[in-house]
Amino acid sequence: MSEIPADLRYTAEHEWVKEQGDGVVRVGITAYAAEALGDVVFVSLPAVGARVSAGEACGEVESTKSVSDLYAPADGEIVAVNETLDSTPESVNTDPYGEGWMYDLRLSDGAAPAAMLDAEGYSAILD
């Protein structure tokens, strides 16, 4: 079973969300998703300043096996992207919860990450 850090929240689309403070969350894909994709070769991220809506596709992760959409976990504005993924997309596989993060999202007023699961809840959907 893949690592599932207890301090993060998760979506059914295999993305993790970590509170950064000041209404900003960091978003990435889980180790389970990275393993399922295989070797990540390219990541397309939303532009800084882009507005996204919960559940909408806002980027793509391309691997040697397939291309998968990234989905926004909540309404908000992209305030940072992990530009190092341009040159080292493999960090999504080697360190999905650290160097392989995707983007930071400033939540819209009152927006909460949609249908977030804790580590136990996320683990249950993998069984």
Of 3.20.20.70, 2.130.10.10, 3.10.580.10, 2.40.50.100, which CATH number belongs to 9-126? 2.40.50.100
Report how far apart, in Å, the C-alpha atoms of 77 and of each of 41, 53, 93 are. Answer: 26, 9, 26
Length of the chain: 127
Provide the percentage of residues in the chain whose pLDDT is more than 90.
91
Q: CA 49 to CA 78: how far, in whole Å?
A: 5
Q: Where are the domains of the chain?
A: 9-126
Listing DSSP states for 50-102 in one string gives: -EE-TT-EEEEEEESS-EEEEE-SSSEEEEEE-GGGGT-TTHHHH-TTTTT--
Which one is predicted more confidently, 15 or 3? 15
Across residues 18-40, what is the average pLDDT?
A: 95
Q: Sorting pLDDT into bands at 50, 70 and 90, what band is 127? A: confident
